[in-house]
Structures are given as C-alpha cells and as structure tokens.
Amino acid sequence: MNAAKRKLIFERLAAANASPTTELEYENTFQLLIAVLLSAQATDKSVNLATRHIFDTCKTSQDILDMGLDTFTEKIRTIGLYKTKAKNALATCAILQEQYQGVVPDSRQALEALPGVGRKTANVVLNTAFGQPAMAVDTHIFRVSNRTGLAPGKNVREVEDKLMRFVPRQYLLDAHHWLILHGRYICVARTPKCAQCGIEDLCEFKEKNLGAAERRPARTTGTARPAKKAALKKTAKPVKKTIKEVA
C-alpha cells in the first residue's frame, strides 16, 4: 500500500470519529492499568462489568491491597484467567506502592517489569494515559493491518513496527484506537462488513464481502461515508474522564 492511500485511510477514520478512545471504563491511570491487565483474552465489556464493582471504591493501588486477594479474585471471577490475573494485579499494586509511591510509571521499561504487564498492556497505558504514540496490536489491529495492506506482518511485533513506521505522524496517537474500533465493528473476523466500510475503495483485501445488491460505488475522496460514520459514532464511547492525574 502506498503512502497516499494510508493517509486517505486515516483521514476517513478521523473524519468519522474525531476522538477515538478505549472502551474500557476507568477514572485514572491506575484504574486503566488494572483494566488493561485484566482485559487480556477477554472482552472490554466483560472487564467493565467486573471493574465497575471494584473501581467505585478502589481508586488507588493501596485500595486494592486493602481489599485483599480473596475479595478481588471473587469480584473478577467472570473474567477469563481470573485467578492468575488477580495475583498479578495484587503483585503489581504492591510494587506500585513500594517502588513508585502508588504512581503508575510512564516508561515502557518500568511498566513491562510489573507482573502481568506485557508489551501490549504497556503500549495501551503509554498511549491512552500518557499520550505517547504507541501501537498496542491486538487481534483486531492485526487483522485490519493485514487485510487492508496497511501494515502486513506475520506477527504482532512486525505489524506494530510497520504501523509505527507507516502511519502518518499526525495520526499516530489515535491510530491504535481507530484500528481497534474498525476491526471490532466493521472489519470483523468472520464476515467483514465491506459493503458498509468507509475505506473499502482503499482496502487491498482480495476477498471482500461485497454483496452485489449492497455494493456501493468506490470513492476516492477523503471524506467518510455516511454509513461508516454512523457505525463508528454509535460504537465509540467517550472516555469517562480525561486523564490528568495519576493515582
């Protein structure tokens, strides 16, 4: 895919959703870290259902340490791999208290040293909480990047590195959220909604799902298609609170 097409793709995604963000619910950086840690191999929806009953009283790492491992484990038991995640979350809270006075560090190295925090989790926190252009490649971004030809790669790291190189600088900060939302609601895994896709004429996927009756004429302008715009607007929820402080 050439640079002009990549730029057009992001122009359209930006026109359809000017302020994309995570669908995880949180009120501060500490809660975001815990929510992302819990979200591995789980849906944001399932994480939100569990964390709502924790984050209403737990705003800091000390709050979760005070809650204790058994209670915390019980509260997240609807999330996959909950026992391991609970242990990691409590261990992370202990380190935050002992080494960082409860403040979530803003460096990749420090984040990845926390139990249960891998490169993807660190990328989400660096990007969403600290405004750093990082690309957390999940299953949706991996699929969209490969199908469209935006940043094809055999593994998540290859896709991440290509996205960091190929995404136009002005779109780097929000690219990760745009691509996740596009993969979650339009370019879905089994049957992509190509006929409703706002970047269909730019996408290089060879097996598009374009029903003859639904096929729309290809567009080459930088504007978003109404159908796509509506779809993204409906699904992209505003963040509960802008991150300005760290717990």
End-to-end CA distance of the chain: 42
| CB closer to ligand SF4 out of 34 and 232 | 232
| CB closer to ligand SF4 out of 58 and 181 | 181
Cβ of residue 186: shortest distance to ligand SF4, in angstroms?
Answer: 5
Q: Which 136-165 positions form the footprint of ligand SF4 (CB under 6 A)?
A: 147-148
Does residue 12 bind ligand SF4 (CB under 6 A)? no
- Residue bearing tokens 């006929």: 195
Torsion sign, CA atoms 230, 192, 122, 72 = positive
Does residue 8 bind ligand SF4 (CB under 6 A)? no
Rounded-to-integer distance, Cα 178 and Cα 19, Å = 9
The contact mask relative to ligand SF4 for 168-207 (x = CB under 6 A, - = no) is: ------------------xx----xxx--x-xx--x-x--
Cβ of residue 187: shortest distance to ligand SF4, in angstroms?
Answer: 3
User: How distant, in Å, are the alpha carbons of 20, 55, 59, 67, 182 from that of 140?
Assistant: 15, 27, 30, 34, 8
Q: Which residues contact 29 (CB under 8 A, 6 or more apart)?
A: 104, 125, 129, 130, 243, 245, 246, 247
Catalytic site residue from 44, 85, 138, 174: 138
**Catalytic (active site) residue 120:** yes
Among 5, 208, 216, 219, binds ligand SF4 (CB under 6 A): 208
Q: Which residues contact 86 (CB under 8 A, 6 or more apart)?
A: 69, 72, 73, 76
Does residue 54 bind ligand SF4 (CB under 6 A)? no
Q: How many CA atoms does the CB half-sphere of 220 hold within 13 Å? A: 1
Interface residue list for ligand SF4 (CB under 6 A): 147-148, 186-187, 192-194, 197, 199-200, 203, 205, 208
Active site residues: 120, 138
